[in-house]
Structure 1
């Protein structure tokens, strides 16, 4: 892998080192109760995607039947996209589509099934990527992309976002040895938080992605606290995390939605710790074809899950308990921002 280009800068402020820079982009507990025959219970990922001619998500069929819901009703099937490696939101585990966003998608599919008065609704799973999710939704090759996509991501005019499904916070991922005094606390709670967390990075290197909204925070804190932090840039989250793994950087700042998955996929997840900043990150949502009736159902399903407490049950399942396939426990309780989201989604995501 080509080493990411490092840019180190130092400024002086009142005789102390400051900094300069710029950087972004962003990926088992008992199951929540599911009614027999519900779509939410069908998270099976096919080994190969269906042939395009047979795909119930084609634009021609949707147009003939009167939108996405008409196409779904005619086919008796809904096509859902999933990521192959974006735990805990959306990933493949034991040949199944799995994850927090996948389960939320199942609730949306159940709402569609109920609206269309279908006795059964087949689920066709199709692997998607950050690069093709919007195009597949626009062409209606998928009916919903069941992954957490930042709602600032670019979509074309034929795709849109659902209501938010996750409200992130900006966090640092650091080696656990950076905070040895937090070790006992970390075993109970993964997001050890202190207003002075950034002080631990004095004189060290922080890696950011190009265009990162976290840059002003790092720059401002470094200057205000005379920390002399240096900044490195990476092109992808994987490259940024690798810098922390190898010791080339002391920390990587990004949305917790991104960092949680990287930490979970590390060889030794316990070797890393997430430190809070108290700063909001992006809101994350499902990606849909632009179709008002479908969006209304998706938003209603998400809203109902939050109001009924199902959202919190699913969160505990995927973020606080062992998850497949290796039974890794993320031990990541809800952040303050996410608790506010559950309490008042509209206010938390304004």
Structure 2
């Protein structure tokens, strides 16, 4: 009887501690390969600078994690594969193990935390509007009965739907495949505004054919943290990712990376975004947190 009880207790303990959770490090060690994701138009976090050449702030975070994994597994020649993802497929590709790490422009929130795990937050942003200056749109009230673009699979689309319903604005909200496609809807006058994280709007605007035609308007509807995504309850891999980002923050390297991508001229047009670090991010560097948005 005692033996049966001890076996039952061990089984319950294993289940409670995530015995069936993903073990990304073991998978990487066995395959000799780590798979990272990139976004095609999330400037300046993760975007393409030429065919299949991802660059950006989040790409550099990913590369730092790769260096840490190589050291931990003693695999200096670890193969690194890059896979493009969209707002819509990024979570499924992490959940099913196709992608090991997603560092792009992904909001860390409680709903997503039921499907994936998030590393330490590395940016804070909020939903605002990109419009043509000629539209005279200055705030959300000006969008009544007009066509507004956002991107499929984003928290911004959810925020705009709720705001539309709460305020009775009767907007026609259309969802594009990715941020570049949503921007094109405004550029081609098929939508009067693009609702998205303000930093991504500034990035897209800086790379437009005529940046001076556009502006970002409206107050932030909410402030949300960005963080890298990994498999749910994979505590060992999360520790490697967290330790890497915290190490960059504590050494001052994180701020150098920030200044490079948010204050200095960046590809492809060699123009700066000119966005100083927010107080929320400075606070997070002092006391690193993976706290999600609600």
TM-score by shorter chain over 0.5? yes
Q: CA shift at 1:208, angstroms? A: 6.1
Contact 1:149 1:284 in 2 (8 A): yes
Aligned match of 1:73: 29
Q: Which of 279, 303, 312 is the aligned partner of 2:255? A: 312
Deviations 1:317-346 (A, max 9, x none): 122222223424323333444444444443
Structure 2: distance between partners of 1:260 and 1:115 = 37
Q: CA shift at 1:154, angstroms? A: 6.3
Deviations 1:48-101 (A, max 9, x none): xxxxxxxxxxxxxxx9xx932123223433221222333221122234221111
Q: CA shift at 1:251, angstroms? A: 4.4
Q: Decide whether aligned partners of structure 1 residues 85 and 240 sit closer, same or farther in structure 2, where only a CA change above 3 A counts.
A: closer
Structure 2: distance between partners of 1:332 and 1:176 = 20
Structure 2: distance between partners of 1:292 and 1:267 = 44
Q: Which of 94, 98, 103 is the aligned partner of 1:141? A: 98
Structure 1 portions without partners, runs of 5+: 1-62, 180-196, 224-228
Aligned match of 2:174: 234
1:207 matches 2:148: yes
Aligned match of 1:325: 268
Q: Decide whether aligned partners of structure 1 residues 153 and 258 sit closer, same or farther in structure 2, where only a CA change above 3 A counts.
A: farther
Aligned match of 2:9: none
Aligned match of 1:84: 40
Structure 2: distance between partners of 1:111 and 1:278 = 36
Aligned match of 1:42: none
Aligned match of 1:259: 201
* SS in structure 2 at match of 1:151: coil
Q: CA shift at 1:348, angstroms? A: 8.2
Deviations 1:84-119 (A, max 9, x none): 333221122234221111111111122222222334
Structure 1: distance between partners of 2:88 and 2:229 = 13
* SS in structure 1 at match of 2:289: helix
Q: CA shift at 1:294, angstroms? A: 0.5
Structure 1: distance between partners of 2:220 and 2:86 = 30
* SS in structure 2 at match of 1:329: coil
1:334 matches 2:277: yes
Contact 1:174 1:273 in 2 (8 A): yes
Aligned match of 1:124: 81
Q: CA shift at 1:149, angstroms? A: 1.5
Give runs of aligned pairs for residues 1-350 of structure 1, distance below 5 A: 67-94=23-50, 95-152=52-109, 159-176=116-133, 198=139, 207=148, 209=150, 211-213=157-159, 231-236=171-176, 241-242=183-184, 244-246=186-188, 251-275=193-217, 277=219, 279-290=221-232, 291-346=234-289
Structure 2: distance between partners of 1:309 and 1:133 = 30
Structure 2: distance between partners of 1:338 and 1:176 = 30
Larger mean CA deviation between 146-155 and 309-318 belongs to 146-155
Larger mean CA deviation between 287-296 and 273-282 belongs to 273-282
Contact 2:108 2:292 in 1 (8 A): no
- The structure in which a higher percent of residues are helix is 2
* SS in structure 1 at match of 2:121: strand
Normalization by structure 2: what TM-score?
0.70
Structure 2: distance between partners of 1:248 and 1:336 = 36
| Count of aligned pairs | 263
Structure 2 portions without partners, runs of 5+: 1-18, 151-155
Structure 1: distance between partners of 2:118 and 2:100 = 12
Q: CA shift at 1:293, angstroms? A: 0.5
